[in-house]
């Protein structure tokens, strides 16, 4: 039976089961009817399967009288909302009294109808279950990554400036065309050997008022191998433009953002995301606005404000200009982190209502147990989650240039310190953070580099409890590595440049490791 048509044709069934309807109902037939009626009574048929009552059966049933029972009255044992309100009460009387033949015919037909409805409901339930299994593949929890093939894209020679690999073959990168000075969005499907230019600007998606020197407004957000968002600034403080792709950059959909100074974009799936916008007044940072989208970024709703005027309000995020982008793990729970100056309270705020209200989370002292280390200032990096309950939260301390990776086993409700790692400081250390942000691929395996070109790399295989310092072996002399991107505990990529030059002054070099960062092989220049 088709799961698209559940209307029962009485005439067709009467013809198909003529022998049953015309025969004198004997004990076996009556028992069959009784069994079917019992099956029906115990079954919870979906209401949407049956639209309305089968009027023909009801009209026939009106001629059957049962002493003491008003017609249509709800009786004991009858399922609420049953589409057969009287037939289920007549059937036991047929079995006991062997009533008239027309009642036997009526109940035989009802049994066939009930059987058909049960079979139909089974088909519907099975089909719904199949669709549910097929459809539950969105976001970051997919067992297999989406596949996107871009046959028309041209291979690009643009220099790479930032990596975001998804798996062993597919990844995204930010780059620059050094011949034109244009920023580019690049994508690889062969592990970095070649890169395709999938920039919206190149495909003519931008309005004619946008200059060729358009820059990114906030960092692009790459959800998976196919879905990404890129915000581009417009001249004259006009609202930034947001471009979304669902096919790996082959096509882009354009919309306008509610502001020009975009701080960050975060999505948990292809439709649900958040946006933070900085508001400047008289050239000074005056407010941070929080927006929410449920349609992939086509439209945005303001849900919260952080400003000096709102800092003291219950549930408001205290005003600061040192926040990271917000990060969410589901539709309700997310975090805002950032830098704190001399304070005993690192900047860590959680929301449990989708970003409308925020509340501070307090951290225990770091691995050495000395809470005074907080006083030197901290940088709380974004948390990373590997399941609904398991995650890590890196925190850098200005005191002795140290790092502690806090862990959670309860979905971020509480955080525990692991160990305090003190990192040697080269002279070109980033002045905005005491250490770099570590990269983890699971709850155990992580890496942390230092300033660009540092000749060493720290790695952990137990979630930050212990760290090992290694000196990467690069098969090219005088090359420093930066911007690491790992996809497994063994496989990763890094950009590199000749150590006496800045990485922004010339096209970078791309390297790959297959032993967890110990040795690196040159892939290409670009």
Reported as a single tens digit per residue, the pLDDT across 136-146 is 333 333 334 45
| pLDDT confidence tier of residue 484, bands split at 50, 70 and 90 | very high
Beta strands 519-525 and 473-474 are parallel
Contact 202, 223 (CB under 8 A): no
CA distance 70 to 64: 12
Q: At what angle do helices 27-42 and 87-97 cross, to 10 degrees?
A: 150
| Mean per-residue pLDDT, 480-506 | 79
Q: What is the mean pLDDT of residues 172-191?
A: 87
Q: What is the mean pLDDT of residues 247-271?
A: 94
pLDDT over 90 at 217, yes or no: no
Among 24-28, 406-410, 472-476, 503-507, name the one with the lowest average pLDDT: 24-28
Residue 349 has pLDDT above 80, yes or no: yes
Q: Does domain 324-471 have CATH number 2.120.10.10?
A: yes
Structure tokens given for 253: 């959909």
CA-wise closest residue to 495 among 424, 266, 485? 485
State the pLDDT at residue 215: 79
Q: Could you give the 3-state DSSP secondary structure of residue 485?
A: strand
Structure tokens at 242: 């947001």
**DSSP character string of 90-113:** HHHHHHHH---HHHHHHHHHHHHH
pLDDT above 80: residue 334? yes
pLDDT digits (tens, 9 = 90+) for 55-98: 443 344 444 443 333 333 333 333 333 333 333 333 333 333 33
- pLDDT of residue 487 exceeding 90, the answer is yes
Q: What is the pLDDT of residue 103?
A: 40
Structure tokens at 446: 């992580």
Q: What is the pLDDT of residues 363-377, one digit of tens each?
A: 999 987 888 888 888
Domain spans, the chain: 10-136, 198-321, 324-471
336: which 2 tokens? 């805002």
What's residue 282's pLDDT?
86
Put simply, whether the predicted model's pTM sits higher than 0.75 gets the answer no
DSSP 216: B
- Least confident range from 37-46, 148-157, 172-181: namely 37-46
Q: Which residue reads 């911007």 in tokens?
A: 483
Mean pLDDT of 108-122: 40
Quote the mean pLDDT of the chain: 74
The C-alpha atoms of residue 86 and residue 402 are separated, in whole angstroms, by 78
Tens digits of per-residue pLDDT, 395-438? 999 888 899 999 999 999 999 999 999 987 654 456 678 888 89
- Maximum Cα interatomic distance, the chain, rounded to a whole number of Å: 104
Across the range 481-504, mean pLDDT stands at 81
What is the pLDDT, as a whole number, of residue 83? 34
Q: 280: phi > 0 → left, psi -120 to 50 → alpha, else beta; which?
A: beta
23-62 pLDDT per residue, tens: 444 444 445 445 544 444 444 444 433 344 444 433 444 4
Task: Please report the pLDDT score of residue 361 as a whole number.
Answer: 96
């Amino acid at each position: 039976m088709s799961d698209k048509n559940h209307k029962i044709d009485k005439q067709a069934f009467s013809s198909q089961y003529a022998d049953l309807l015309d025969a004198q109902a004997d004990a076996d037939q009556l028992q069959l009817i009784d069994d079917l009626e019992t099956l029906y009574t115990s079954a919870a048929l979906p209401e949407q399967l049956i639209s309305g009552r089968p009027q023909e059966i009801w009209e026939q049933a009106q001629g059957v009288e049962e002493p003491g029972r008003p017609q249509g009255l709800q009786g004991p044992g009858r399922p609420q909302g049953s589409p057969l309100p009287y037939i289920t009460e007549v059937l036991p009387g047929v079995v006991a009294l062997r009533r008239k033949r027309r009642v036997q015919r009526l109940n035989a037909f009802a049994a066939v109808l009930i059987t058909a409805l049960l079979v139909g409901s089974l088909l519907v339930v099975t089909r719904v279950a199949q669709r549910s299994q097929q459809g539950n593949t969105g976001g970051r929890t997919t067992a297999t990554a989406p596949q996107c093939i871009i046959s028309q894209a041209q291979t690009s020679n643009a220099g790479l400036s930032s990596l975001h690999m998804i798996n062993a073959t597919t990844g995204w990168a930010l780059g620059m065309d050094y011949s034109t000075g244009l920023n580019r969005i690049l994508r690889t499907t062969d592990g970095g050997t070649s890169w395709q230019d999938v920039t919206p600007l190149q495909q003519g998606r931008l309005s004619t008022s946008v200059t060729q020197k358009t820059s990114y407004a906030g960092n692009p957000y790459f959800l998976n191998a196919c879905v990404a968002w890129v915000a581009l600034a417009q001249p004259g403080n006009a609202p930034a433009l947001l471009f979304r792709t669902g096919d790996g950059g082959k096509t882009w959909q354009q919309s306008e953002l509610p502001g020009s100074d975009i701080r960050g974009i975060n999505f948990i799936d292809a439709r649900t995301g958040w946006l933070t916008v900085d508001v400047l007044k008289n050239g000074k940072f005056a407010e941070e606005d929080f927006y929410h989208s449920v349609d992939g970024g086509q439209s945005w709703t303001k849900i919260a404000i952080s400003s000096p005027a709102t800092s003291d309000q219950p549930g408001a995020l205290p005003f600061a200009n040192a926040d990271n982008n917000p990060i969410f793990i589901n539709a309700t729970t997310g975090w805002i982190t950032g830098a704190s100056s001399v304070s005993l309270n690192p900047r860590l705020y959680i929301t449990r209502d989708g970003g409308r209200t925020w509340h501070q989370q307090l951290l225990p002292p770091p691995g050495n147990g000395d809470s005074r280390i907080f006083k030197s200032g901290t940088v709380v990096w974004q948390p990373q989650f590997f399941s609904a309950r398991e995650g890590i939260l890196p925190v850098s301390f200005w005191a002795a240039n140290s790092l502690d990776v806090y862990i959670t086993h309860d979905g971020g409700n509480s955080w525990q310190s692991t160990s305090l790692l003190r990192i040697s400081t080269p002279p070109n250390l980033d002045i905005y953070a005491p250490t770099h942000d570590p990269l983890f691929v699971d709850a155990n395996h992580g890496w942390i580099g230092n300033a660009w070109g540092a000749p060493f790399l720290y790695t952990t295989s137990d979630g930050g409890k212990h760290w090992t310092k290694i000196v990467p072996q690069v098969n090219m002399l005088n090359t420093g590595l930066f911007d690491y991107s790992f996809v497994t505990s063994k496989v990763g990529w890094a950009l590199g440049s000749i150590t006496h030059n800045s990485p922004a002054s010339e096209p970078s070099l791309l390297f790959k490791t297959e032993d967890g960062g110990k040795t690196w092989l040159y892939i290409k220049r670009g």
